[in-house]
Structure 1
């Protein structure tokens, strides 16, 4: 860092998500208590005050064009812009400070603003898991990583949904001041310095809309009705009276997956639901149709990077035990 204060500008606008601002700001403010020197400011496109998605009116420190180059630019997210295109004037306003900032970061759907400004072109990025696919559509040169809590590509950073902005801010503080100070900040805020698993653990069940073709809908009905049954490739092909090769091609062409992986996804979704309902991990494995607890554990580790027991502790209940 330079000798002066590290200037952190948070780019805000009407409809911005309040937690995208408050979470990272608290990290930097808390870091100042332990010896850091961050100066936090809120900048809007024109310098006018803004209203958050909660209707809270926020006073800003100025317009993006009125400030000299900042050390860190954070672009907060909004529910508006995954649903609508980012207005050209908003993208232009974000492009101004991004061009001169020491490093640029987005929180949650703030990635859509950076993408519209051209900042993410050719870069790795992430955003909220619910809209990661839409970001990939709008920024076809980006390599969107939907499971990441945050992604760094050079001096450009993007975070996953909402509270992941805290994770990203901690990573930025660690980059500036090392792990010891950052650990003190995390402990003071009662958060993990690095949370286990990716954001897939927070996502909705993987099953999308039912297959379009009647043949694959029959397969879905068969597996869902009896997840513990024999759903090998041969057995599934027999249900339709087609060859295994033809069935594999149907799954690939319509669902971009294999029959075995589709069956696994249904069992995985069911196991998550059973864990949410309070079943033990062993019961969930049996009822969901996994051959063993160990096979279910491997699927959880691959998809969520956590164990079934850890998943249940996080999402089973908010009641104290």
Structure 2
């Protein structure tokens, strides 16, 4: 059977993409174990003949956990100093926005840090001022809001797919700098990230989603159509960055071909945008449990229990 290096490379990249998704399970398990325990398990489970992969994965996790500890410190500072923070995540389909957002919020308090991912506007919302449906989701004092796609839908998917007119797009470009300056003047810290991937990398990630039953739901007809219109999206992105990159709210481009590096770089950059510090907490003491002689625990009826299949 003839060798096909290009096919082998493609399959290797798809496997690496799938592995990245499964690594998320290990990240979440840190809730129940120490970081050192989790890293030790990772080293045990990675084949010994794949030392390079093992070393890279351990290094990634070690740095990710360090940055996530810093994010907890940032969260406490935001709540304590009553900051208002908005972070926008934009990029092509499969660029890695959701993965970065997930790693940022993984260890944080959802009452302080929340994610907004709005669906397509309904018929009523289509008649509103364009920014109106985003305004209710803006933060109050002591909150961080991460937008998984934002009002920049108008400059991207709506423009490319023909969901709005050229006049609508032009009005958006006139309005958005003033809208964002108004947010900044109100005391909101606005940070905008564009996740950048190559044509080839998006192709690989779409194939990975097609071949992974757990990720097929991520592929919508709109995603597939956006793949066909790659060049139109490129032109729209270039116009968006040029016309909405303002001193009060500049764009930051994240090189996202390597997912893991992109996450680490994005989180490190985000932390660098704030002069935060550790907030001193009062010591926590677990009070002794009260016990009363007349307390009787009533048994739960057997039919109420979930069957223990595992």
Q: Do these two structures clear the TM 0.5 threshold for a shared fold by scoring above it? A: no
More helix by share: 2
TM-score norm. by structure 1 comes to: 0.26
Relative contact order higher in (CA < 8 Å, ≥ 6 apart): 2
TM-score norm. by structure 2 comes to: 0.26
